[in-house]
Structure 1
Amino acid sequence: MNEPTDKKPNFFQRHKVDWVLAIILLIALGLYGYGTWKTGSANDFYTSAITSMTQSFKNFWYASFDPAGYITVDKPPVALWFMAISAKILGVSNFSVVLPSVLFGVGSVYLMYRLVTPYFGRFAGRIAALVMTITPIVVADSRTNNMDATLIYFLLLAIWMLQKSINKHNMYWLIGSFATIGFAFNIKMLQAFMIIPAMLIFYWLASNDSWKKKIGKLSLATIALVVFTLSWPLSVDMTSANNRPYEGGSQHNSVLELAFGYNGTQRLLGQTTGTGGAFKGMGSSSSKGSNQPGGNTKSNSNNKMTPPSGKMGKFNPSKNMKSRGNFPGGNNRGGMKMNGKGGMGGAGGAFNIGTAGPLRLFQSALGPQISWLLPFSIIGMIAAFIGFADPKRKWYQLTTRQKHTVLWTGWLVPVYGFFSVASFFHPYYTIMLAPAIAALAGLGLAAMLDLFKRFSLNNYKAYFLPLAIVVTAGLQAWYVSSYYAWLSVLILVVAVLASILLLVFKAKPAGKAIVIVGLLSIAVAPSFWSLTPTLAKESAAIPTAGPDLLTSGGNNSGGIGNGTVNTKLLNYLTKHQGNAKYLFATADSGTAAPYIIQTKKAVMAMGGFNGTDPAMTLSKFKQLVKSGQVKYYLDEGKSGSTNSTIVNWIKKHAKKVSASEYGGSTSTTSSSNSMNFTMKKGASAKMAKPTGKQSMSMGGGPSNMSNGTLYDLSSIY
């Protein structure tokens, strides 16, 4: 007879650790974090702000781009707060500024599991977490100091609170959920509001309260949303302009204008302010007509593209560029491909967003970043609504599982709709679709497997799974075809054979193994694409994923140690700065950022990111020069700046500093941010190796090279 034992269960027994989930989380950590300490770049624009934010609380609160607190970045500060805290603790480095994004990315994978598992089972939760992990743009984005990984985490946290409020019938969780959305607004503004319709519909369907109580609780939650949304913007806008930095990205020094203008309606309708600088006409329409960039780009007889002369002066990507191979829904199967450094590898350029329309997300400009499993998720979503229905209820009496399917459908549909018609966004913004695709893939697979088991081949419900595998494989084969023709054929053949064998051996033991083979056939390509940023040690201002990164040796689109600082010029400026407040002034942040990062000193980017913010007037600039606060101006010949009046005054009255005085040459070519242009048929074209001569800057602002003319302003007075 065994004696009773008083031994207590250990930690793992108490918490029932899911070891499969643990492995998925480790994979996510490796994909998102490995090599970030070795990358030569991040987003200069934000890294400069993080550098400045570590120097004073005022800079920290306002997200000042420069240490002097002259102008802010064009986003709210919350995501940068986490990065600045990390940099303050660990020191400013590529690793420290990216670390929060890595952790939030892994946290999002865990939340996907927690959001799906309680309602659809552990298997569905694992699939959702895995799909989130291996979505290429999620990997690329989580390896940068952009805001998107942080935003996604807090949106998922809000959904978790919403589910908890319904399960526990607790109003405070509901209020916390909407307050978290308000908090997320101060990460990336109106982008956070894209899931509010899904939250409202889900709460209304899932809550057991009376309609009066629902309205009352939602009213309180809305108040919390408004308070948390407006708390930081109003604190800025109500502060005297003399006591804070200029709000970058706005035309009237207002956060609310920035939120509802540049970062709001203009994202949908096209950019109408701040276009006079580097990206003229940026986002004014979706990609129509010629796929060639504007400016002086010409096409020769060999289908090679000659890069535009100079900097990004009249580059018009969104308007004049089609995606590479716009099928489906496009009108050019041999579109231009922008590749090389600066975020152009993989599936398109910084503003290469394909042709607007319902199939835009399947085109090659955006598809290889986000849409590998989108057909699977859509078919799975339909199967879920059918498979999780209760035959004893009327069609509109939804089950719990159907209601949760509505939640993720409500996330997918409006975000999908936005990207189908929007005119002004970067391809990496499509990370907003990743949680919905992942959740619907997980719950959809559970539904399709259940339908496949329960129904005979005489019923259409048994065909959802093989159909999803074949359709998804077909899209993936097209994406892969221009890189690896053999893999394209292999994916399609294995997927089709697996689907046929599924039907042949439906009721036999071999069926389970065939399902696994079929699912693996559509997991290989996105897994490899998601691995490319890690293999290339990629951490870019314009993150992307794809084999191009492996041929270009990574993406050095601006950042710490990227070689864009003219050392001899810097030594000259440091030696002659004296008591001046600013090391020098220049037109935009792209020129200023590397110097701020390297020296921790103030550099004035007069017009902010694009050089188009009206933050400085001629009279005020004259006062700064006269008082000795600004002694030098570095002009890189950028046209279209809002500050052209100031620049003309400088050129007329200031003394040019000969490059020979600081031991340099009249121009310095950056070794980073090079882009080549090649034409190739198919979904995507293989990338030519970048040449150092054909440079176009994309990191941290429109111009990111230390070329140009230096003017001595102290000679004026």
Structure 2
Amino acid sequence: MRFDGWPHRAALGALLVSTAVLYLWDLSASGWANGFYSAAAQAGASNWTAMLFGSSDAANAITVDKTPAALWIMDVSVRIFGLNPWSILVPQALEGVAAVAVLYAAVRRVSGPAAALLAGAVMALTPVAALMFRFNNPDALLVLLLVIAAYCTQRACEKDSSRWWLVGAGVAVGFGFLAKMMQAFLVLPGFVAAYAVAGHRPLRRRLLDIAVFAVAMVVSAGWYLLLVEVWPSDSRPYIGGSQHNSILELTLGYNGIGRLTGDEPGGLGNMNFDVGWARLFGHAMGADIAWLLPAAVICLAAIAVSTRRAPRTDTTRAASIIWGGWLLVTAVVFSLMNGIVHPYYTVALAPAIGAVVGIGSTLLWRHRFCPPAATALAGIVLVTAVLACVLLSRADGWLPWLRAVVAVGGVAAATLLLVSGQLGATSARAVAALAVVVSLAAPAAYAVATAATPHTGAIPSVGPARHRFSPMGPGGLLNASTPGPGLTATLAADADDYTWVAAALGSNNAAGYQLATGAPVMAVGGFNGTDPSPTLAEFQRYVADNDIHYFIRGRLTFGRWGAASSGSREATAIADWVETHFTPMTIDRAIIYDLTRGPKNS
């Protein structure tokens, strides 16, 4: 099913406009969304050092626990448009629209506009995509950069292509690392294998090109690591998420191997309660990403069978290795990792699922006259409908009629697909349209419900508000604090006289006070409260020098004063020292200590 000219352009325009509406409509309802990153954007927009290092506050006490590429875009937006929810969140929405457009361009080169439109629609309507492209976590930029890298790799595999396409892929992956560190590297096996197998150049040239790709990637990612490592540590913020003020430790430990093994100093301990192949279909992740995952696996197998006798340089095979490798490696890692893993990470699977479904289902449709192809198409629709009913049943009471419609429509579409090769052109197109609608109805409804629901905190969830999974309550680890007007006024008074208007336990607690006052607030212990920044001695020196006005007593979810299963206990020591030596006062039900009034009498 191919179409060109104005119908194609109109359909593409409709896809991108619809995606933009889904990702931008009522975007400000989420407020600061993830206050942790919003506060860092506020800091970066007012201080160049904070912007360079991704500091949590403009006084540069500590950084966020990621490399700051995603923050750089938000920082620029805030510098131009001022600090508000729109300037924070619109960059991610536009990155989502751009990712759909690039995915469309990549799939169209291999399978034509119909497959490209289907791939783009699958990605745009994946619930976790509707969540994360409306949120200010770094996943949005990561996904865009990896889709660009996949497109460049695909172009590099084509005949008479320039080596610069592979260099471009390496640069995109490298900057993807600067968005979310080592997760960017999960696509590498598929990219390298695709060019090694299907590239048009002689083998020796292909191996040399892969080496150039690796150099481009290392340079694009490594320059920042080198910059941070050689920068004097006393003139930059502490590297959040590390125990020794080292970005290499952050890269290889907390955001690297530790995510696989669960051995993350300063992390939350082993989190393998649902580890295994079923994790992506379970209650935590299923509604985010699972809707078309079996369909993608069937399509990938169909492509492999259909291209088994094709020339080595076949573009469809090359694309299937690129996107299939991305899908399989990422899915296996997410399923088996023992460290910190959140359901929204699965947004990284959405482009690969879209591409494989678009390419594979279109290929099967072109061969629907053969019974095996027609049977595979019917199987795709039937298993997708069954899975949709299972996932919808978990949101008990929400749109109960949708399950019935998907079930009946799925059986009808699967039955008609079995005989689609015997139908006329018009009837066959109607059957194809029914199959697409039935397959996308449930995830599309869930995506719309996700977009219609405000999301805040560090772990957003998909779906309608009353059915969202929220493992933690307000405040503490996951949500930024929300100070009352009295406390805000107290903190803001004479703020210019201090380096930090206050110190608070953990980055999320500090972020809320900082966003409310517009003044730097020190995040004691970093995100989890387990980083040794500042040490007790350093904090005491800041107090002696009148650098900090208030200490705000708060809580972190894991243990007293944020003592998790590993990492530093300096935050505990600081909180205990303040409680022992200073007099508490209560404002808006918050307990604060004025550190400038001197110790209380013993």
1:645 to 528, 549, 573: 573
The answer to whether the aligner puts 1:615 opposite 2:530 as a matched pair is no
CA distance in 1, matches of 2:450, 2:31: 13
Matches within 5 A, 1:244-263: 244-263=236-255
Residues 15 and 234 of structure 1, relative CA distance in 2, 3 Å threshold: farther
Matches within 5 A, 1:481-500: 481=393, 482=396, 483-500=398-415
CA distance in 2, matches of 1:372, 1:558: 32
CA distance in 1, matches of 2:7, 2:402: 39
2:444 is aligned to: 527
1:37 is displaced (CA, Å) by: 2.9
Residues 646 and 544 of structure 1, relative CA distance in 2, 3 Å threshold: closer
Q: Is contact 1:533-1:545 (8 Å) kept?
A: yes
CA distance in 2, matches of 1:540, 1:630: 26
1:285 is aligned to: 271
Aligned-partner residue type, residue 621 of structure 1: F
Q: Is contact 2:67-2:178 (8 Å) kept?
A: yes
2:38 is aligned to: 47
1:242 is displaced (CA, Å) by: 0.5
The answer to whether the aligner puts 1:571 opposite 2:496 as a matched pair is no
Q: CA RMSD in A?
A: 2.6
1:547 is aligned to: 464
TM-score normalized by the length of structure 1: 0.76
Aligned-partner residue type, residue 714 of structure 1: R
Q: Is contact 2:64-2:527 (8 Å) kept?
A: yes
Q: Is contact 1:536-1:549 (8 Å) kept?
A: no
1:70 is aligned to: 61
- Alignment gaps of 5+ in structure 1: 1-12, 288-354, 668-706
Aligned-partner residue type, residue 518 of structure 2: K
CA distance in 2, matches of 1:42, 1:557: 13
The answer to whether the aligner puts 1:463 opposite 2:363 as a matched pair is no
Which structure has the higher relative contact order (CA within 8 Å, separation 6+)?
Answer: 1
1:28 is displaced (CA, Å) by: 0.6
1:484 is displaced (CA, Å) by: 4.1
The answer to whether the aligner puts 1:418 opposite 2:333 as a matched pair is yes
Q: Is contact 1:596-1:603 (8 Å) kept?
A: yes
Matches within 5 A, 1:324-339: none
1:599 is aligned to: 517
Residues 210 and 398 of structure 1, relative CA distance in 2, 3 Å threshold: closer
1:618 is displaced (CA, Å) by: 2.2
1:490 is displaced (CA, Å) by: 2.6
CA distance in 2, matches of 1:506, 1:526: 28
Q: Is contact 2:531-2:570 (8 Å) kept?
A: yes
- Alignment gaps of 5+ in structure 2: 564-568
Aligned-partner residue type, residue 444 of structure 2: S
- 1:259-303: per-residue Cα shift (whole Å, max 9, x none)? 11111112111153224xxxx53xx0311xxxxxxxxxxxxxxxx
CA distance in 1, matches of 2:190, 2:408: 38
Residues 611 and 507 of structure 1, relative CA distance in 2, 3 Å threshold: same
1:387 is aligned to: 306
1:366 to 285, 291, 294: 285
CA distance in 2, matches of 1:125, 1:406: 17
Q: SS at the partner of 2:459? A: coil
CA distance in 2, matches of 1:412, 1:528: 24
CA distance in 1, matches of 2:496, 2:418: 80
The answer to whether the aligner puts 1:376 opposite 2:295 as a matched pair is yes
Q: SS at the partner of 2:239? A: coil
CA distance in 2, matches of 1:97, 1:708: 30
Which one is further off, 230-239 or 486-495? Answer: 486-495
Which one is further off, 136-145 or 561-570? Answer: 561-570
Q: Which has the higher helix share?
A: 2
Residues 578 and 255 of structure 1, relative CA distance in 2, 3 Å threshold: closer
1:139 is displaced (CA, Å) by: 0.8
Q: SS at the partner of 1:645? A: helix
Residues 524 and 24 of structure 1, relative CA distance in 2, 3 Å threshold: same
1:243 is displaced (CA, Å) by: 0.6
Matches within 5 A, 1:501-516: 501-504=416-419, 506-509=421-424, 510-516=427-433
Q: SS at the partner of 2:416? A: helix
Q: Is contact 1:637-1:708 (8 Å) kept?
A: no
Q: SS at the partner of 1:584? A: strand
1:245 is displaced (CA, Å) by: 0.3
CA distance in 2, matches of 1:518, 1:124: 14
CA distance in 2, matches of 1:178, 1:563: 40
1:101 is displaced (CA, Å) by: 0.5
Which one is further off, 189-198 or 494-503? Answer: 494-503
2:85 to 94, 103, 116: 94
Q: Is contact 1:473-1:491 (8 Å) kept?
A: yes
CA distance in 2, matches of 1:15, 1:223: 42
- 1:483-520: per-residue Cα shift (whole Å, max 9, x none)? 44432233122211222233356412334323322321
TM-score normalized by the length of structure 2: 0.90
How many residue pairs were aligned? Answer: 577
Q: SS at the partner of 1:714? A: coil
CA distance in 1, matches of 2:56, 2:133: 22
CA distance in 2, matches of 1:574, 1:603: 11
- 1:557-581: per-residue Cα shift (whole Å, max 9, x none)? 789x988113212322333657322
1:94 is displaced (CA, Å) by: 0.6
1:433 is aligned to: 349
Sequence identity (%): 31
CA distance in 1, matches of 2:491, 2:95: 39
Q: SS at the partner of 2:443? A: helix
Q: Is contact 1:389-1:399 (8 Å) kept?
A: no
Q: SS at the partner of 1:18? A: helix
Q: SS at the partner of 1:631? A: strand
Residues 77 and 505 of structure 1, relative CA distance in 2, 3 Å threshold: closer
